[in-house]
Structure formats: C-alpha cells, structure tokens
Amino acid sequence: MNKTLTIRGNDFIQNGKPVQLLSGAIHYFRVVPEYWRDRLLKLKAMGLNTVETYVAWNLHEPRPGRFNFSGGLDLPAYCRLAGELGLNVIVRPGPYICAEWDLGGLPSWLLRDPSMQLRCSYKPYLKAVDRFFDALIPPLVPLMATRGGPIVALQDENEYGSYGNDETFLRHLADGLRRRGGDVLLFTSDGPEDLMLQGGTLPGIFKVANFGSRTGEAFAKLREHQPEGPLMCGEFWCGWFDHWGDAAPHHTRSPEDVARELDAMLAAGGSVNFYMFHGGTNFGFMAGANYTEKGLQPDVTSYDYDAPLNEWGEPTAKFHAAREVIARYFPLPPLELPPPIPRRAFGTVTLDRAAPLIGQAERLARPVFSPGPLTMEALGQGHGFVLYRTTINGPLNEQPLTLKACHDRAQVFLDGVPLGVIERDMTPSPVNITVGPGGHTLEILVENLARINYGPRLHDRKGITEHVRIGYQLHFGWEHFALPLDNLRRLRYAPVGESTTGPTVYRGTINIDKPADTFVHLPGWTKGAVWINGFNLGRFWNRGPQQALYLPGPLLRQGRNECHVLELHTPGPGCRIELKEHTDLGTASA
C-alpha cells in the first residue's frame, strides 16, 4: 500500500482520503531497543497513528567519518518496526535537533574548528552535514512512503527561526534531502511568532507551528504565514523537562489542561504531534543545557517530560485523558495495552573496591602538553572530564586562582589536597593558593556538565577555554588528561579504605536471578555517574531534583552484574547503593 502523504487544500491526503496526523514523539536513542515495540504499541493504543523521532547526529557520527547505525542506533529498524505496527513515521534529521540533547545533537568535534559557524552556510559546516546525510538518508530511502514504507515526512532543520535566517542554508538542506531520495513531504517547524516563521521557513515548503497553549492564536499566526494547507502543531508541549537544582521537584502539567488544549486542536481540524509522548532517558553524558540569566542550567538524566507515557513506559493519567479526547473525534477500539513490564527491588549493593581517578589518570589517557590550557574539543574529546596538571613554584603568599573560563565545574587540588570547587561564571574565584618553597603539583579536574542545546550560545566549548591566572599572572605549562570514562576496566581497584574520598570510581557486583526494571538510589552520595555492566546510565547529583536513576531490565543479565559509580566527593555510608522498584519523584520520573 502506498502511504504517501500529500496536501490538498487544507487537508492531508493519504490513501486517497483526508487524514489528520495524530502523532507522538519517541526518540529511539532515549529508549533501549528491546522496549521499542512496547512503547510504539502504547502510542498506538492511545489513539495515535504516527510516531515522530529526531535523529541524534552526535551519536551516529561520534568521530568524523566514523558512523554507527547499529543496536540502539538502528534507525531503519526502528522505522520498519513502526511500519509493521501500522504507524506512519515522521523523521526529523536536523542536523540540529535541540531536544534537550548535548549541543542540540551536533557533534562536539565540529568545535575543533576555531572559526566554526554552526547552523548556516559556512562551507566546513555544510561539508560535515553533507557527509552525515550521505550516510543517514540512503538506508531510509526504501522506507519512504513513496516506496511503500512508513516514513511520510522529513523535517528541514529544526526551529531555525529561533536561531537564524540563512535561507541559503535551509535550501541547501532541503535540496540535499531531495537529492538523496527523501521524496516525501518536507516541512519546517517554528514557534508561532512572526520573527520565527519568517526566519525559519522556505517558500513552497509546508510549515507547522510548535506550541503548548493558546491553540487559536497559534493557528491564526500560522495561517497568516501559510494561507492554505493543513493546520498542525508540530510539537505539542504536553509537559516539560527539569534542570539540576530546580526548586520544583518535577515539572508537571495537569492532564485536564492538556486535554483541553488537545480538544481545541482537534476541533479546529488540526493535526498534532505530542512532544513528548514518551520521553525516555538521557543516558550517559548526553543531556543538554540551557543558558539564561541564571547561567548554565544542565538538564537532569531523566527525560520523563511528564509525558503520557512515563520514563519507564507506564501510561499516566495524561495518557487516558488524551485518549478520551481523541475518542470524541475518531473511533477507537477498546484499550488494549501490552503486558506490564515487571519492576523489581534487588536490594543493596556494596561497592567494596575503589580506584582514585586523579591518581590513575595515566591509566586512562596519555598526557598532552601545551603551554596554555586546551579545551576538551582541542583534545579530540566529546564528553566527561579533563584533568589539568602543572607545577607551581613557591614560596607564594595567598593568591586567588582564576579560571577564564571554566566550562563547567572544576575541582582544584594542591599536592593532592582539595582546595575547593569553581563553577562556571563564578566570580570572584572561591579558591586561593598559598605554598611554601619548592615545587608543588596543582591539579584541576574539569567536568563537562552539558553543552548548551538552544539559543545563540551553541559554540559551547568545554574545559578551561581561555587561561588560568594565579593572582594577576597567567600560568603556563600544562599536562592534559582526556577522561571520557568510556573504559573503566583500565583502572586498578583496591579494597575501599576508611579514608577513600575525592574523585573515585567504586566497583561492586550483584547477582540477579531474573532481570527486571529497577531504579538505582544513592543515599548519601554527592555527585557523579553510574555504570551497569559497562553501560553509562547517566549523572546523579544530590542537589536534585532527580535522586535515582532508571535502570531498564535489558541492561541487566542473569547471574553476575557489575556496578561502577564515579563519586566526585564523598560516597554514601558504607559505599552502598540500593536497587528499588520505585522512583523518587512522585508519579513522574526518577
């Protein structure tokens, strides 16, 4: 069957009949592949006929020219599965996606070019984008609706009017998608404002608007810029995301409010894409960040989003409220959901082995010397930490240590003794240095908390991005250790001692008879990350609001399982973590 989506007057046409797209966003890269079918079936059960996904360029091309479309990154497999379940697919390949994802999905290696200009027709950027599209689009071509597949639409860039107005760039992307075989409906998506719809759209390409409320006003503004064509909310913001340190326990939006807005969209004959239907998890170090008057605001590991399907895949009250509204406009069969995915508590895990991170940096990285400090990108590193090491000579009376600029959080050590923490945009410096005669070792461990994913500050290089001053004097002569922490087995572990503290990787094991979903709780721990069987679940931080990490059952195995926890400060009592069957943020997310 040819599922090609076309436009006739103010309608979408599919299979010769007018159709409203009822879509929901599920990002394949935020869900373990073993659960793709479960989440898609639940999307269909709510009454939706389409699934939408972004494409995370930085996961698919972690190093220039080295691509990965396997396992959880097998986008063609995800699209095929959706098609087998009777769903349309909307693919939003970017290359920029925002998505509360590191650098908006752009690979950090782009920033190795000191002259890089992102999201415009700067030739080195276009060259990189073209190479990515050369790898991404051809495997999707057999899945286009024009060839009988499920992919009915492709997006040209993403909310570009919120960033720029380079029409040549947008046209290059659109032409490139077409030239490579993306011959389905092309569209742009922007906020319902004149500036955004002027800067982010192209003549002859379908436009949708992204919003969460005031449907009538949003559709009216869209109609001003597109007098004819279907009305569609390309992102219906039915929830929201959380930052580390947010005062609120978890951003939520009432099911009743979402239902009212959805009803207004459907009553107007509009199509809709729930952003998100199911948020999933920002595994690893891939969560993004905002930058506001408050400074850098990194996102938490959970991407629950207070969506109709929560982080671990259970329908919420919002799911049922939305389904009730949809049923007023479209005939729905009785609700039929897949069997619930089991959750279990596995008890306490004692981490009885430890490896000091700074003392074993040489096991993880070769030192790189430079007179001045280098950024993470200059070191060819995407995520994690950089250790800066140098010698300072005394005697030296008390002098402030200034990092210009610290991106994003630095722990400072003098001869192995912690002096304090410097965070981004923190002035004056909270760290002072006083040393006696002779040479002394100064070490600065800088953490990349998350690259900015939205707004004009995308050029967010990490590490120490300018210089280090002791007093008024710039300090030169640095060793650098790139620590992405992607192979913790290189460390040498010893029994945990009573005095073990500071940046340390702790290790323990747990035997499991039958894997199931669970949640990692870290009572008394401070800040760091968790790995299960080598898979990075993401960050934790006692400043909240998130205090527990979702652990999908497919990441566990029957028998022995290995746990690693990086703790940057002080571990919890007894170096214990707990695997519980529940989360810690009400009914929403861990």
Quote the Cα angle for 10-43-100, to 5°: 85
Specify the residue for token string 């993470």.
376
Tokens of 285: 């170090």
Peptide bond into 571 cis (omega under 30): no
311 an active-site residue?
A: no
The catalytic residue among 52, 235, 261, 567 is: 235
Are 20 and 266 in contact, with CB atoms under 8 Å apart? Answer: yes
Tokens of 540: 């934790």
Are 463 and 405 in contact, with CB atoms under 8 Å apart? Answer: no
- DSSP string computed for 378-433: TTT--SSEEEEEEEEEEEEEEEEEEEEEEESEEEEEETTEEEEEEETT--S-S-EE
CA distance 440 to 389: 11
How many residues appear in the chain?
590
CA distance 49 to 169: 32
71-77's contacts with Cβ under 8 Å and 24+ in sequence apart are: 71/33, 72/28, 72/29, 72/31, 72/32, 72/33, 73/28, 73/29, 74/33, 75/28, 75/136, 75/139, 75/140, 76/139, 76/140, 76/143, 77/33
Spell out the SS3 assignment of 496-526. Answer: CCCCCCCCEEEEEEEEECCCCEEEEECCCCC
Nearest residue to 501 via CA among 358, 349, 350: 358
CA distance 437 to 474: 20
Residues 6+ apart with CB under 8 A from 278: 24, 25, 26, 31, 39, 42, 43, 307, 308, 309, 310, 313
CA distance 324 to 46: 9
The catalytic residue among 61, 100, 157, 159 is: 159
159 an active-site residue?
A: yes
The amino acid at 71 = G
Are 548 and 590 in contact, with CB atoms under 8 Å apart? Answer: yes
What one-character DSSP code corresponds to residue 546? -
Specify the residue for token string 């039929």.
336
Backbone φ, ψ for residue 551 (5° rounding): -120, 100
Instruction: List active site positions.
Output: 159, 235
